[in-house]
């Protein structure tokens, strides 16, 4: 046998042993790169809007109910009074 053949076989055997310890890391790196690149392909899910037949009940004015009897001025005075009750500058005694 030639000395080169022995050293070549030794190098090949050493390389195969080292590949067994590196292979899981290479697989993990490849998997993480694949997952990272998969996130780049995001597509907008709301690209098309379809209208349904039922769109909800129609909105009415807040003063158009049994309490205010379609009287906007009374409703506005009640809202203003409520706002003043929540105003800290009005509540603090001078």
pLDDT tens column, 1-26 = 555 566 777 777 777 666 666 677 77
* pLDDT at residue 42, as a whole number: 66
Cα separation, 55 vs 51, in Å, equals 8
67 near 73, Cβ under 8 Å?
no
CA gyration radius, the chain = 38
Cα distances (Å, whole numbers) of residue 47 to 38, 62, 89: 20, 35, 49
For residue 75, pLDDT over 60 is answered with yes
Q: Name the pTM for this structure.
A: 0.38
């Amino acid at each position: 046998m030639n000395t080169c053949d022995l050293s070549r076989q030794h190098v090949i055997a050493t390389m195969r042993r080292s590949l067994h310890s590196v292979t899981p890391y290479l697989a993990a790196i490849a998997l993480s790169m694949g997952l990272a690149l998969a996130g780049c392909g995001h597509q907008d899910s709301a690209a098309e809007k379809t209208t349904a037949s039922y769109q909800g009940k129609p909105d009415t004015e807040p003063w158009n109910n049994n309490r205010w009897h379609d009287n906007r001025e009374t409703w506005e005075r009640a809202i203003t009074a409520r706002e003043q009750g929540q105003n800290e500058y009005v509540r603090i005694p001078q």
